[in-house]
Amino acid sequence: MKSVVIIGFGNVGQAFTKAIAGTDNFEVVQIFCRNGKLKTSSFPCPVTFDMKELLPADLYLICVSDDAIGEVSNDLPFRNRLVVHCSGSIPMTALSAAQRRGVFYPLQSFSPDKAVEWSEVPFCLEAEKEDDIELLTALARELSDRVYSLSSEQRKRLHLAAVLVNNFVNHLYYLGESYCREHDIPFDILHPLISETALKIQNIPPYEAQTGPARRNDQKTLNSQLLQLKGSSLEEIYKTLTTSIIATYEREKL
């Protein structure tokens, strides 16, 4: 049984603790939490608030904010152990060179009230030593079949792509919901359309899945909708996305 210490107990740390508890060959032996005000009764296994009390383990999984990764790594009171972070945008080299460094990045968003379907989560792995990659791969494969080996540069670019397709798209959902609410329209009318689009791009490329007035360059509809948005915060967003879509499909005429 391989031992894991979880460093940080926010959304990601809590999710990993539960997930690893369900594996056959790994166990969480300790949790380190920087918030000493939390009650230890809320933790599922031994907890420490003192970095000097960290137990020996096969793997230390840093689950803190991106800005804190370097600081936490430098504060570790030991050397030459496998220490990994789980960030999409931070390079492996942000970790202290005194350790065997790696990355264990789950490409997923974590919310406190939403269970994670781990079998569907892609894991992006990186490490300096082959033995460490093998250990990270073993853990990832106990959670998911979607395991990838990516460099820090590839992972950084993947994280940007994830912001585009997840964070930006979700913000558009929010804007659409706000627009519906403003005009007394139930937002759930749009749920089937949202689901259909998400399912469609799993089978055909987004380029082929694109529909709508900008895709057709339907100027009459575009002008009408811009008139509806005139003077609102949505006007420039609509113009920017419409211009991008039209430019993308203008190439078909070349």
Instruction: Quote the percentage of the chain above a pLDDT of 90.
Output: 85
CA diameter of the chain: 68
For residues 216 and 245, what is the distance between their CA atoms, to the nearest angstrom?
9
The verdict on domain 155-253 having CATH code 3.30.420.40 is: no
Q: Which residues of the chain does CATH 1.10.1040.20 include?
A: 155-253
Q: Is the pLDDT of residue 28 over 90?
A: yes
Average pLDDT, stretch 211-235? 95
pLDDT in tens, 151-210: 999 999 999 999 999 999 999 999 999 999 999 999 999 999 999 999 999 999 999 999
The verdict on domain 2-150 having CATH code 3.40.50.300 is: no
Half-sphere exposure of 75 (CA within 13 A, CB side): 14
Q: Does residue 113 or residue 74 have the better pLDDT?
A: 74
Which of helix, strand or coil describes residue 60? strand
57: pLDDT confidence band, cut at 50, 70 and 90?
very high
Q: Is the pLDDT of residue 64 over 60?
A: yes
248: pLDDT confidence band, cut at 50, 70 and 90?
very high
Query: What pLDDT score was predicted for residue 112?
Result: 74
Q: Find the angle CA(204)-CA(210)-CA(213) to the nearest 5 degrees.
A: 160
Residues written for the chain: 254
> What are residue 81's phi and psi, to 5 degrees?
-115, 160
pLDDT in tens, 113-143: 778 889 999 999 999 999 999 999 999 999 9
For residues 94 and 69, what is the distance between their CA atoms, to the nearest angstrom?
7
Q: Give the amino acid at 61.
A: L
Average pLDDT, stretch 35-55? 78
Query: What pLDDT score was predicted for residue 115?
Result: 81
What's the pTM?
Answer: 0.81
Average pLDDT, the chain: 92
Q: Contact, 100 vs 127, CB < 8 A?
A: yes
Q: Is the pLDDT of residue 250 over 90?
A: no
Q: Contact, 52 vs 122, CB < 8 A?
A: no
Q: Which two tokens stand for residue 140?
A: 């990832």
Which of helix, strand or coil describes residue 26? strand
Most confident range (mean pLDDT) of 11-25, 41-55, 131-145 is 131-145
Q: Is the pLDDT of residue 43 over 70?
A: no
For residues 252 and 196, what is the distance between their CA atoms, to the nearest angstrom?
25
Query: What pLDDT score was predicted for residue 45?
Result: 84
Q: Which residues of the chain does CATH 3.40.50.720 include?
A: 2-150
